[in-house]
Structure formats: structure tokens, C-alpha cells
Amino acid sequence: MDKLAVLGGEPVRKTPLSFFKVNLGEEETSNVVEVLKSGNLVQTHGKWANLFGELAKEYLGSKYSVIANNGTSTMHLALIALEIGPGDEVICSPLGWISSGTVCLYQNAVPIYADVDPIFGFIDPEDVVKKITPRTKAVSVVHTWGLPADLDPLVEICEERDILIIEDAAEALGATYKNRKVGTIGTFGSFSTVWNKIITTGEGGFLVTDEEDLAKRAKHFGNFAKVPNKGDYFDGLGYNYRMTELMGALGVAQIKMIDHLIEKRQNNADYLTKQIDSLGINGVHPAYQPSYGKGVFWKYTIRLDLVNYKVSRNEIVRALKAEGIQCDAPVLPDNMQPLYENQTVYGTTHCPWDCKYYKGPKEIDYTNMTPIAKEYSDRAIWLTGCGPHLTKVDLDSIVLALEKVLKWYQR
């Protein structure tokens, strides 16, 4: 057996394989140059950002879109539009990105994290039911790593209790759930178009909804809460969450090729799954498609049964990186991050937990809230972003490195 590179052997790849790569073409350059020549760089004085929003909602089949400067802003705008605030709770997914839950804190609402299923890391409907209280106003569902979460059980739970669903589809633009695009099933669907997502506007993001009043409210508060046609006149606490024209110009070009990009990602993921399965190594679980939908594989995630290996997951990641595979791994579920232990986000106060409007427990044990998510996080490895830039040679090198490392460390 070849000696591992981390131990002084020859690596599988001499040139490290990048985890993500931006896919840009000539049209992106042409559009950006046109914006620069026009001198109209902001959404309120141009055409590109609004055009991107129109194309995005058409692609998803939604009635309304609200474009913004990033996916965190869009999640915040969804909460603002839904009038979620002090005293309210939002049940959140612990895996994905930290701002999926922290936007609740922006509104002085309390995030409560539900645990996940052990296979995909999706929020678990059974644990959602356990976490619902009279203070619960919404459930925020993350479509983790670009795969569609199982929505029907959550929809049934929430409809029975008059609770709203926000889909955090930042990583999953183009993924489908029972032949419907994710992000179009909840009250709001939130998407990110930051540089490493399915399509990119550099930074950026957008909301979709079928509710006109909610779309107008989100758009209003994303533009300073500035009242139209009244000059500098503001009727609420607004934010500068506008998308720039340069972002929109990139997005208009990018969304035209989204189907091609997604097909390439899915083909790459299918190939990786077949090749990893063929290795016959105990204790490694490839990324499978859920039976009810089709993902876009923003990250191709494997899970390890660590009892089968002599070293930790982190040591396996280090060994894979030494072989030239720029993989990565989750660090902690969101609820286990230090901010939830400190609970100090507004000056020296402990709001929203100490807010006079909040009638829930003043001491919330976030650390032990999601034990299955912690176990999932400890076992998962992101092998690649599965992007369209990957060739068969690249994919084979990933499999070869994985085989080399796992067989070396296998018990």
C-alpha cells in the first residue's frame, strides 16, 4: 500500500484540487462592462438587478422575488415581512450556515434548534414537534448541502398549528422536491448567490414568495423603509440590503446556464457515488439522492462510521488534503457555537432571552439541544463542491485519495 502523503509519501495529486471554482463566461464580462459604462451602479438607478430578480422568479415558478445583497439579508427580510419579533421563537436547522438562525436575533426573537436525521442532516419533523411552544411563529428549514429536505411532514405539522415555513435554500437553487423547486413550498424561499453557490453574483441573494403583500414588505424594508415618491421619508427601521447592478449583471448571465451547471453537478455526484460504492470499504457512506427529490450537490458529503478507523475524522481530512484533495468538514452545529453559550448579542444585555416580552425559559441549554446533529457533524466530510469544472480525472483522483487514506487507517 502506498504511503500516505501526510506521512511523507507521494500525493495523489501534485496540484491540489480546489474545493470550489467560479464558473464565468464572456457574457458575464460583457454585462459588467455595460454596467460600468452606463454609470448606473445601484439597483434604484439601473436595470440589471431587477432583471435578475425577474429571471430568478420565472426559473422557480414563483409570483414575486425580492433581491438583496446576500442570503443572510434575505433571511432577515423574510422575518421582517412576517412580523416576527420580541417574544417569538423560530425553530431552526442546526446544520447549514450560522445566519440561518442568527437572523432571528436581529429581530430580538429566540432561535430554537431542532435536531436532524442521521443520514442527510435535515431538520427532523419529530423533533420539531417537540420544540414547538405557544411562542413558535415559524420553522426555518435548511436544504442542507444542496439536497432537498423532506417538506411534506413539516408542512402538515405547521399547517395544523398555524406556523409559517421559511425555506433556507441558499445551497440548493434548482433542487427539486417531488418535482417542485425547493424554495417555492414554504411562505418564503431564500437563496444565496455568493461566489461559491450554484450560480453567482459575487455576493448576493434573493427571496421568492407567492404573497404580494409579503414581497412588498420585504422589498420596502430592504430599501431603508423609504416611502416611494416622498423624497427622504422613512416609515420604519429599514436596512440597506439592495443588490448592486454589478451583481445583477452577473446574475442575468449566470441564470441562463443554470440547467447546464446543475446537470453537470448531478452527473459528477452520481459518478462519485458509484465509484465510492465500488470500493467496498466498510464504514463509508456516499452522498445519495433522497428518494423524494433531486439535489444539486453544492457539497458532496460523505459520512464515516468512525469505529471502523484508527484515527479521528479530522485526521482523515488532514490526510486527504495532503493528497491534494481540498476537502473540508463541519466544525460544530450552529447551536453549539460560542455565541449561544455567551448569549450576549446586544451590548452587555442578554436580550432576546432576557427581553421582557419573552415568556420562555431564561436559561436555554443550546449545547445539548441537538445530539444527532453533533454526531453527524463529527462524522461528515465534504469531499468537493461537485462543480462543473471537475473532470473525470479530477473525480477519479478524489476516489483514489479516499481509497488510499481510508484503507490506510481502517481497523
3-state secondary structure of 357: coil
- 17-49 burial, b at 16+ Cβ within 10 Å, e below that, comes to bebbeebeeeebeebbeebeeeeeeebeebbbb
Nearest to 79 by CA among 116, 107, 113: 107
d(CA 409, CA 402): 11
Residues 6 or more apart whose Cβ sits within 8 Å of residue 229: none
pLDDT score of 385: 86
User: What are the angstrom distances between the C-alpha of 198 and each of 26, 31, 221, 395?
Assistant: 18, 19, 27, 19
Average pLDDT along the chain: 97
d(CA 301, CA 287): 6
d(CA 317, CA 406): 10
pLDDT in tens, 310-323: 999 999 999 999 99
- 375-396 burial, b at 16+ Cβ within 10 Å, e below that, comes to bbbbbbbbbbbbbbebeeebbe
Contact 158, 23 (CB under 8 A): no
Q: Is the pLDDT of residue 264 over 90?
A: yes
pLDDT score of 15: 94
Nearest to 158 by CA among 187, 178, 180, 179: 187
Helix ranges (H only) for 82-148 are 99-106, 125-131
Q: For residue 296, what pLDDT band results from cuts at 50, 70 and 90?
A: very high
Residues 6 or more apart whose Cβ sits within 8 Å of residue 273: 286, 287, 288
3-state secondary structure of 228: coil
Q: Is the pLDDT of residue 1 over 80?
A: no
Contact 331, 377 (CB under 8 A): yes
pLDDT score of 270: 98
pLDDT in tens, 360-388: 998 999 999 999 999 999 999 999 989 99
pLDDT in tens, 51-99: 999 999 999 999 999 999 999 999 999 999 999 999 999 999 999 999 9
As separate numbers, helices (DSSP H) first and strands (DSSP E) second, the chain gives 13, 13
Give CA angle at 215 (213, 220), nearest 5°.
Answer: 95
pLDDT score of 62: 98
Determine the average pLDDT of the residues in 333-338: 97
Determine the average pLDDT of the residues in 119-133: 98
pLDDT score of 119: 96
pLDDT score of 321: 97
pLDDT score of 203: 97
pLDDT score of 19: 87
User: What are the angstrom distances between the C-alpha of 95 and each of 122, 313, 315, 370?
Assistant: 8, 17, 22, 10
Which domains, from first to last, does the chain contain? 5-21+258-330+374-409 (3.90.1150.10), 26-257 (3.40.640.10)
pLDDT in tens, 18-59: 889 998 999 999 999 999 999 999 999 999 999 999 999 999
pLDDT in tens, 127-141: 999 999 999 999 999
Q: For residue 253, what pLDDT band results from cuts at 50, 70 and 90?
A: very high
pLDDT in tens, 227-249: 999 999 999 999 999 999 999 99
